[in-house]
Amino acid sequence: MANARPLDTLRSAPSAPKQPMTRAAGIPKGTMFGGTRLIGTFFGSSSPNGTDWMCTGSVIDTPARNVILTAGHCGLGIKSNYIFVPKFIKGAAPGRQPYGIFHIQRVFIDPRYVPDKGSSTTRKPWSDLDTAFARVSVNQRGRQLQDAVGGGLTFTRPSGYNNKVTVVGYPAHKHGNDAGRAVKCTVPTRRLPGYHQMSMTCGGYYGGVSGSPWITDYEDDARTGHVIGNLGGYNGGGNDANVDYISYAPAFGADAAHLLADAVANRNPASNLPPHQGVRAMFGSPHWQGAKRTGQMISKGLLANPCPPPSRSQYLHRVRLRWRVAAAPRQHRSTRWESA
């Protein structure tokens, strides 16, 4: 386990002596707690009693009863000797983990998710595809994953980007989580402009939380719930400064649904899909290109709380109004928008 490859090294916590990071007033901070049965973490060997846990995974309710969700950039580094440990307890031997340990059998990642050169993540439009599923073996007691934990999260495609979610994950030991506890935070989400992704603001989400499920109806130790995304996406799920209080998640859509179907059927994901172009493929106007630039400014911390961009119809309406004002005689021009 000491030789396990780090999967999620972003967002380092402050080095000792630990001092709180500077963040705007009113930003909530996640609560550390003992974890919940449907969410766990990964180890790069057959024993979970060390300190090398990395990334976060969650149990998905499927007919296969052995499928977990995590981030695509995590899945790229997960090998056959990795294990998944639900509601992980630091220092406990495999036989003393609440639900046992589950060896990874196979990982499913959209082949169009390609990291940037020299990185395990990407800032490109296909960061929308930063989702992975994995099939696991029975635990050391011979029980399937869902039978052992008593349930699973329901994969859900959200109707929009504005939701209220609880995000649960495991910050890594090296980022100050000496006790191996989970972090949770319940906050509203909004869209990351220019991407098919959600954004949330809550502190305490350091390296290790990639893959954390975004759950709309979370309850502690519940056996069910609806998950609409996983922590990941642009830059692996955080802005360019890698601050702990800004996190992103791909909003589940058709691509993630097809990938889950592949995992359930235990088949190879399609390799002949067209390139993923994201929002740019849908709208080529300067306004929508500007929306992407706005998203990049948010990710760099240059914009803290921008107004949501207008819809395409609103944009075209405003263009027409500007033209009418510009074409009117000077004495009749107004600084206000004309009514339709």
Cβ neighbours of residue 39 closer than 8 Å, sequence gap 6 or more: 56, 57, 58, 59, 86, 87, 168, 169, 182, 212, 213
Provide the percentage of residues in the chain whose pLDDT is more than 90.
66
Residue 81: pLDDT above 60? yes
Give the pLDDT of residue 321: 52
**pLDDT tens for residues 168-179?**
999 998 888 989
Of residues 193 and 52, the one with the higher pLDDT is 193
Residue type, 258: H
Cα–Cα distance for residue pair 18/317, rounded to 1 Å: 52
DSSP label at residue 251 = B
Of 250, 252, 207, residue with least CA distance to 232: 250
Mean pLDDT, residues 201-219: 97
Give the pLDDT of residue 328: 44
Give the pLDDT of residue 339: 29
Query: Please, are residues 234 and 299 in contact by the beta-carbon 8 Å criterion?
Result: yes
Backbone angles phi, psi at 205, to 5 degrees: -100, 85
Provide the percentage of residues in the chain whose pLDDT is more than 70.
73
Cα–Cα distance for residue pair 75/121, rounded to 1 Å: 11
Q: Hey, what are 15's tokens?
A: 């080095």
Cα–Cα distance for residue pair 20/29, rounded to 1 Å: 11
Of residues 53 and 112, the one with the higher pLDDT is 112
Q: Given 3-state DSSP classes, what are the helix, strand and coil percentages for the chain, each rounded to the nearest 5?
A: 20, 20, 55
How many C-beta atoms lie closer than 10 Å to residue 120's C-beta?
A: 20
Q: Which long-range contacts (CB under 8 A, 24 or more apart) does 112-118 make?
A: 112/273, 112/275, 112/276, 113/72, 113/73, 115/73, 115/76
Using CB atoms within 10 Å of the CB of residue 177, give its burial: 0 to 12 exposed, 13 to 18 middle, 19+ buried: buried
Residue 25: pLDDT above 50? yes
Task: Tell the residue number behind the tokens 């954390």, with chain if given.
Answer: 212
* Mean confidence (pLDDT) of the chain: 83
Mean pLDDT, residues 245-271: 97
Half-sphere exposure of 81 (CA within 13 A, CB side): 8
- Top CATH class of 31-309 equals mainly beta
Give the pLDDT of residue 252: 98
**pLDDT tens for residues 1-21?**
233 344 665 554 433 333 334
Residue 280: pLDDT above 70? no
Give the pLDDT of residue 237: 97
Cα–Cα distance for residue pair 224/258, rounded to 1 Å: 22
Parallel/antiparallel/unpaired status of strands 226-230 and 154-155 = parallel
Residue 309: pLDDT above 90? no
Parallel/antiparallel/unpaired status of strands 54-60 and 39-43 = antiparallel
**pLDDT tens for residues 263-273?**
999 999 999 99
Sheet hosting strand 190-191, strand order edge to edge:
190-191, 197-201, 246-250
Give the pLDDT of residue 279: 79
Confidence of residue 284 (pLDDT cuts 50, 70, 90): very low
Give the pLDDT of residue 215: 98
Cα–Cα distance for residue pair 35/338, rounded to 1 Å: 55
Give the pLDDT of residue 292: 54
Give the pLDDT of residue 7: 60
Q: Hey, what are 128's tokens?
A: 């929308």
What pTM was estimated for this model as a whole?
Answer: 0.79
Give the pLDDT of residue 45: 66
User: How long a stretch of residues is the chain?
Assistant: 340
Confidence of residue 48 (pLDDT cuts 50, 70, 90): confident
The β-bridge partners of 168 are: 184
What is the residue extent of each domain of the chain? 31-309, 310-340
Of residues 52 and 239, the one with the higher pLDDT is 239
DSSP output for 165-193? EEEEE---GGGT-TT--EEEEEEE-EE-T
The β-bridge partners of 60 are: 67, 153
Cα–Cα distance for residue pair 328/44, rounded to 1 Å: 69
